Structure 1
Amino acid sequence: METAEKIRQWIGGVFNYAAMLEQADGNHAAPLVDYLPKRQAAHMPALPREELTEFFRRPLPAGTHQQNRLCVLLIMLCFARNNEIRGGRCQEINFDKKTRANSH
């Protein structure tokens, strides 16, 4: 069902774009929005405090490129989204204040 919902979203996006360009008369996938049953969210338990050290240590010796390891650690430490990390630029960081340059 998860895949079907993703496909419905993609098709809906195509129809919305086509309607914006006046190539379609609306989103024909819209009636399917509530057609698929919703799946119950499965919440994951918090990591026990005793396991945190090992959790943060594991990416360090991994056989990956250094920039990939640093990216994973940065995501783990500051909870940034991966596209924010991958698309970030050095000029966006205030290294003196240890903040993003455009944050307050």
Structure 2
Amino acid sequence: MKLLILTAIKEFEKEIKQQLKKAEVTTFSYKDVIGFRDSTEDALESNWFSAEMNQSQSILFYAFVKKENVDRLFESINDFNTKQETLSHIHVAVLNIEKSN
């Protein structure tokens, strides 16, 4: 069993749900969150916004997933991200679960 964590901008919510369904992840939780990026280290010409602290409407998904479904989801998310014309992507991480009840 693996713990799957996905984060993305709120606009990708529908796509993430579709990706989870394709990977046969039928049970998951999600929550709206505020994404935060400190751009004080960016060069002035690459910072499109006048503010140094940028926030965005984001979403966080998490699910306990069978090991065999993880690779399928990673492939699907990677395909989605490579086709994106925006700078934003779906971020996914997997953690091993040593024990659960």
TM range (shorter): under 0.3
TM-score of the pair, normalised by structure 2: 0.26
The structure with more radius of gyration: 1
Say which structure is richer in strand: 2
**Which of 1 and 2 has higher RCO (CA within 8 Å, sep 6+)?**
2
Say which structure is richer in helix: 1
